[in-house]
Amino acid sequence: MHVETDDSLIKESILETAQIISSNGGFVAEDFTVHYFDGNFSSSIKDQIGTPDRVLVHYPMHLAVPLSEIEWSDDPQSMGSYTAPTTLDANQLRLVELWVTMVDHAEKLNMINTFVPDFAIRNSELRAALLNLGFPKFDEVPHPQDAKKTLISWHSFGSGRGDQSKKRLIPLKMFVNHHHSGAKQSLPEPGVHVLTSSTSNSEQTYENYGDLDAMQLLTGFGFVDHEAPVVHSTPLEVESSIGVIAVNARSWRYPPQESGRQALTWIQSDDGSVSLRHLAIRPDNRHSTVTYLAMGIQSMVGSTADVAQKEAERLINEILQINHNKYSQVIRVLPLEESGKQSATMVREACEIQVRKLVQWW
C-alpha cells in the first residue's frame, strides 16, 4: 500500500498496521493509498479506476479487536491511557496501540468536541430546536467521556446506535470517507472488507455510510455534505380525514433495497391511529409519495380517488411547511450559541441545505 503524508509518525503507524494485517491472513492491495494532512484522513486507489467491488483490504475477524474489553481512562482529551485485557494477543494489542497513536496524534477527540454539534453546542434553546428536528441526543448535554464512545463508534463495527458492547476495531477501513456513491459497508464473514465503487479514483475512494441526509451526517459524523441525495422528514403530526397522521423518527441508517424502495411505510395501530415509519424526500419521488399516501387515505375512508389525491397533496405540503419551520427555528436561535461557534456555523449550513432541497425537490 501507499501512504501520502509529511507526518512520519502517521505514515509509520499506517504501514505497520498494514503489515500486521498482511502477515496474519489478511490482504492489503498494493495500490490502496491513505492520505493524511492537517488531521484529516482519506483514501484512494491508483489502479483499475472505476472498477467496483474490488477488494482493497481484507482481514480476518480475530484482528478486529473487541474494544469493549478495553478499560479506557477518564482523560477526556486522549485515548492514550488504557488497560487492555490479557485475552488480547500480541497483534491485537499492537493494532490498538497503533490506532490510539494515530487518533491522538490527529486530535480526533478535539475534533469531535469542536465540530460535532452534540458536543459543541451548549445553548439550551438551540439544543431544544435541534432536538425538535428528531435528534434525541440533544436532550441532554453529553458527558466528557461520550466523545470517546463516539470516536470508537466511528472506527469500529458492530451493533449500531452506540452499543459499545459489540464494537470491534476496524484498522484501515476507518480511513475511508463517506459519499452516497461509495461502496457498500458490507462486512462479509469470515472477515472484514474494504471495497471499491465505480467512482473510486486516484483522488478518493469512498464508502456509503448509509441513506443519510445532511443533518444526520453533521450530527453523526461532524461534517456537512452538500450532495446527500435525501432529506428525511422530521418527526411531526398532521390532521387528516383518517385522523392524526404521525411521521415517526428519521430513517437510520442503511438504505432500502434499490428495487421498489418506498419513501414511506404505513403503520396502523389497534386503536386506529396511523403513522408513517419515516418519510424520505428525494428529487424524484414526490409524485409516487403523494400517490401512495392517497391510496392509503382512499382505502381507509372510502373517498374517491380525486378527493384522496387532493388531500394527499395538502398533507405533503403541510409536512413540508412544518419541516421548513423547524429548520428556520434552528437558524433563528443559532446566534444564542456562544461556545460552539464553529459547529453552529456548520449547523446553519446544513439547515440551509435541507431547506433548499425541500423547496427544489418537492
Same domain, 253 and 154: no
Domain residues for the domain of 241 are: 231-361
pLDDT (tens digit per residue) in 327-359: 999 999 999 998 889 999 999 999 999 999 999
Q: What is the pLDDT at residue 296?
A: 87
Cα–Cα distance between 187 and 196 in angstroms, integer? 14
Same domain, 163 and 253: no
Same domain, 152 and 123: yes
pLDDT (tens digit per residue) in 102-156: 999 999 999 999 999 999 999 999 999 999 999 999 999 999 889 999 999 999 8
Same domain, 74 and 217: yes
Same domain, 54 and 179: yes
Q: What is the CA radius of gyration of the chain?
A: 23
Looking at 221, 244, 262, the residue that finishes a domain is 221
Residue 226 lies inside a defined structural domain of this protein: no
Residue 352 lies inside a defined structural domain of this protein: yes
Interacting residues of 13 by C-beta distance below 8 A, sequence separation 6+:
98, 101, 102
Q: How many domains does the chain have?
A: 2
Residue 13 lies inside a defined structural domain of this protein: yes
Same domain, 21 and 44: yes
Interacting residues of 353 by C-beta distance below 8 A, sequence separation 6+:
214, 224, 226, 228
Q: What is the pLDDT at residue 267?
A: 67
Same domain, 172 and 33: yes
Same domain, 144 and 20: yes
pLDDT (tens digit per residue) in 263-312: 666 666 666 678 888 899 999 999 999 998 999 889 888 889 999 999 99
Strands (E), 9-100: 27-28, 33-37, 40-44, 55-60, 71-72, 82-83
Please report how many Cα atoms fall inside a 13 Å half-sphere around the Cα of residue 256, on the Cβ side: 13
Residue 249 lies inside a defined structural domain of this protein: yes
State the average pLDDT for the chain: 89
Environment class of 276 (CB within 10 Å of its CB; exposed 0-12, middle 13-18, buried 19+): buried
Same domain, 56 and 18: yes
